[in-house]
Structure 1
Amino acid sequence: MRIDLAGKILLVTGSTQGTGARVAEVAAASGAAGITICGRNEAQGKALSAALTDTGCPTLFVAADLADPSAPEHVAATALAHFGRLDLLVNAAGATDRASILDGTVADWERLFALNARAPFFLMQAFVRHLLQRGAPGAIVNILSMNAHCGTPDLAIYAASKGALATLTKNAANAHLADRIRANGINMGWAATPAEHRMQSELLGKGADWQAHAAAGMPLKRMLTVDEVAQLALFLLSDLSGLLTGAIVDLEQAVVGAPSVARDC
């Protein structure tokens, strides 16, 4: 059974690399009629936009730093001005800065909540308002984290921000169920995204081979891939997921509640 996004116009944040970029690529391969990608890296964004457009899926890149309070409205408005409508939204942008109960700062709190909760909220707001004006159905997928359940000690503020977005996902799903606007989330497990590679290898000093050591200690002896996240996101966006809404899917090599060793994710 093939996921089909034929005729759908999609906005994906955090899509110049990693999970967001892979979502955009899989959406283009699944027949999306148009995609808006956004992020801070202009060179990567323009390159991906050109590559996806060359495959036959018109793709717009919008340079934006979602830590800026005005950025969500700008991104949504630019996408709507270019394509005329939006049918699907994926909030994949985020930051994973370390900050524990003991060493977290006001700056940490403001940055993580701005990127991981505030920006997705206002993108959802713009998207839902647009759908209501059109009287059209739509779907939202928010990329969350297994840390939303609790989080490792050094990810206290990050975990709180993803927990906030999980609640907002359910709230949006409930508020707009009768409007045929679905909202679901993915609690993403530990994956070697470009941002995570830089965090582990450079900022945390674990070296270039950190992934091999991490994978060795996992049940399946490998890490989650961004392709697996993208495939699930596309299923949740598509008609194949039916009326599913308000669901938060744990995509990890663990069952919440079962005894396990805490890991980054």
Structure 2
Amino acid sequence: MDVTLTGKRVLVTGGTQGIGAAIAEAAAKSGAAAVTLVGRDAEKGERVAERLRGHGCEVKVAPGDLAEAETPVRVFEKAVELMGGVDCLVNSAGLSSRASFLDAEPELFDKLFALNTRAGFFLMQQLIRHLKERGDPGAIVNVLSMNAHCGAPELAVYSGTKGAMATLTKNAANAHAADRIRANGIMLGWTDTAGERTMQAETLGKGEGWLEEAEARQPFGRLLKPEDVARLALYLLSDASGLQTGTLVDLEQRVSGAPPANVG
């Protein structure tokens, strides 16, 4: 089975770092004709793009803050200009700021939903319109979270943003199956990214030893890595996944709904 994106033009949000950059690199390695990276830091984006160009792929950068209402349309139009069209969309940009029912403030609530939900919705809207105008098929992968199933108390707002995107993923898949536009989501478990290292070590004050301790508690002896997510995203974007659409794939080391290990 060949898992490739040969000839495809791919737009990746959050593509300047972490999971998004890993997905963009997997796309570049797999034969994509072009990849456009979206992120707030243009210089960081150019550094990632330069590295990815070493795989023989045309890589562009469309900088912008997706939390701003006008940015999704602007960066999508820029990607079309840079690549001549878009065939695949990966919504990987997001914030995981902590906020529970007891301490959430309207400003943070709005910021999380603006980036994690609204931006992804309008990018999907732009791709769907673009593909329908062309009469071509396409694929969407939304990087979601296991927290969408319920979520930790301190991640109430974040969980809500991902739960909303999970529903929108299925809605898009259902509404546009006849247009041959597939939409799938990755329900992501605990992943070792640069942002998570900063969050755990500094923001939450767990210190530099947190990763070793956390990995020792995992069934497979480690946290997920960005490359794990990239492999699944590549499969879902590729023709190898066939007619798969509207699925939310749990990428986690524990089975949702299973009892805790100490429960008989």
The equivalent of 1:214 in structure 2 is: 214
Instruction: Identify the residue that residue 4 of structure 2 maps to in structure 1.
Output: 4
| Residue equivalent to 1:172 | 172
Counterpart for residue 162 of structure 1:
162
Amino acid at match of 1:174: N
Could you tell me whether the CA contact under 8 Å between 1:35 and 1:59 is conserved in 2?
A: yes
Given that 1:254 and 1:260 are in contact with CA atoms closer than 8 Å, whether structure 2 keeps it comes out as no
8 Å CA contact 2:101–2:153 kept in 1: the answer is yes
What SS does structure 2 have at the residue aligned with 1:139?
Answer: strand
SS at match of 2:16: coil
How far apart, in 1, do the equivalents of 2:197 and 2:64 lie? 22
Number of the residue aligned with 1:246 = 246
- Measure, in 2, the Cα distance between the counterparts of 1:43 and 1:79: 17
Name the structure 2 match of 1:100.
100
Per-residue deviation, 1:50: 1.6
Tell me the residue number matched to 2:124.
Answer: 124
Q: Does 1:88 align with 2:52?
A: no
Give, in angstroms, the shift of residue 209 of structure 1.
Answer: 1.8
Q: What one-letter code is carried by the residue in structure 1 that aligns with 2:41?
A: N
Alignment partners' CA distance in 2, 1:192 and 1:260: 23
Q: Which amino acid aligns with 2:102?
A: L
The Cα of 1:59 is off from its aligned counterpart by: 0.6
Q: 1:251, 1:111 → 2: CA distance?
A: 26
Partner of 2:145: 145
Deviations 1:156-198, CA, capped at 9 Å, x for gaps: 0000000000000000000000000000000011011111111
Kindly provide the amino acid, as one letter, of the partner of residue 201 in structure 2.
Answer: S
Amino acid at match of 1:156: A
Distance 2:79 2:260 in 1: 43
Indicate if the aligned counterparts of 2:2 and 2:240 stay in contact, CA closer than 8 A. Answer: no
**Which digits, 9 at most, give the CA deviation of each residue in 1:101-135, with x for residues without a partner?**
11011011101101110000000000000000000
Deviation at 1:211, TM superposition (A): 0.8
Provide the rounded CA distance (Å) in 2 between the counterparts of 1:70 and 1:89: 18
Aligned to 2:32: 32
Matches within 5 A, 1:23-62: 23-62=23-62
Q: Per the alignment, in what secondary structure is the counterpart of residue 184 of structure 2?
A: strand
SS at match of 1:81: helix
**Which position in structure 1 is the counterpart of 2:64?**
64
Distance in structure 2 (CA, Å) of the matches to 1:207 and 1:131: 47
When structure 1 is superposed on structure 2, of 48-57 and 77-86 the one drifting more is: 48-57
Q: Distance in 2 between matches of 1:226 and 1:28?
A: 15
TM-score, structure 1 normalization: 0.97
Q: Distance in 1 between matches of 2:260 and 2:237?
A: 31
Structure 2: any 5+ residue segments left out of the alignment?
none
Contact map agreement 2:146 2:189 (CA 8 A) in 1: yes
Q: Deviations over 1:117-154 (max 9, x none)?
A: 00000000000000000000000000000000000110
Runs (4+) off by over 2 Å: none
Contact 1:141–1:184 (CA under 8 A) maintained in structure 2: yes
Q: How many percent of aligned residue pairs carry the same amino acid?
A: 55
Q: CA deviation at 1:53?
A: 2.1
Q: Which residue of 1 aligns with 2:235?
A: 235
The residue aligned with 2:257 is 257
**TM-fit CA distance, 1:7:** 0.5
After TM superposition, give the deviation of residue 219 of structure 1 in Å.
Answer: 1.4
Determine if contact 1:87/1:139 at 8 Å carries over to the other structure. Answer: yes
Partner secondary structure for residue 98 of structure 2:
coil
Counterpart for residue 200 of structure 1: 200
